Structure 1
Amino acid sequence: MRSSLWFAVLALLIPWDRPCAQEPVSYASDVAPLLRQHCAGCHRPGKAKGDLDVSTYSSLLRGGRGGVAIVAGRPIQSSILNQVSGDEPAMPTKGEPLEEAQVAVLRRWIAEGAHAGAPPAKPAAAPGPPRISSAPTATSAIAYSPDGTRLATTGDHEMPAQTERIAGYHRDVISNAMRRARARIGEIEAER
């Protein structure tokens, strides 16, 4: 009985309403795409209304004619947040206002210190072009162009150069393979 009472007391003392630890807001992944979508139409190089350019982290921190747009750690003093939030946001002037969740991301990023953070990871590079070989290689596939002037072959991640010498070599290989296949088919039919 006493143990269940202690458990109940402990359960009441634990702050259940405390939110779980969240990852910090990323400028590159969260804030920059939001600014690009909603603000960069009017606030970009060559068309920086109010001399505010939001296209890069450094230009955003520089601010514009109205002063600094971001005061790190102080969302209330950050003019950009004041422009996009409230009952009737002043920005963006064209298009729909930011959703409350988007404003919350911006507010949280500023409150966290408005750090640039690491850029998003780049996707793995695509494999390069196949190696070009001037000597015949083991062939896994072969195709001639419809007019018979070009030859494409592959094998072991290589693509032999399409010279007449190699094309002739492959024609010989194909001819020999076809001749052997026809002979074998003839032998099989004769055995029946």
Structure 2
Amino acid sequence: MSEQIKTRRLRLKSWEQGHFAPFAEMHADEEVMADLGGALDLAASHSKFERYREALRQHGISRWAVEDLEGRFIGYAGVMPRLSPGHPLGAHYEVGWRLVRRAWGHGYATESARAALDDANNRLGITGIISYTGAENVRSQSVMRKLGLVRRSSLDFVQQAPGGGTWHGLVWSVDNPKCGG
């Protein structure tokens, strides 16, 4: 298992305990979390953090902590095993990202997601990766297009949103596992 992936401007790192405080702060930000029903409390952030760490230990792949070259946490990106048969799409691998607001608009989501996709394909041979977001999340849809993902409306789904209500997932897929990287 790789401990770190370096890009031109970023480091994708295995989760460390020191990442938890900024991770929880990011999830407490209403604007950052607007697409998923709102901010998470500390307990929900802790559960998500531990789920990512456990996926990396068990499967060798997960979301990575993303830092700038000065070592500041700016979010996460990575390919997550979604192995629950109860998910509307069944078992699958999903590429996703979330960044703190100060990191928006700099191309970091695309850069880190591309590196994570390359790692999943080159190190583990994982293909058939998908991504999904809400209809209102045009920023993530833009990243998906930049990554070369293809819109798959026949796979769209509706599920319970973390903050209550329902969430409509728009699905995109990786046709070229290298994603132009």
Instruction: Name the TM tier (shorter chain).
Output: under 0.3
Higher strand share: 2
Q: Which has the higher contact order (CA 8 A, sep 6+)?
A: 2
Greater gyration radius: 1
TM-score (norm 2): 0.22
Higher helix share: 1
TM-score (norm 1): 0.21
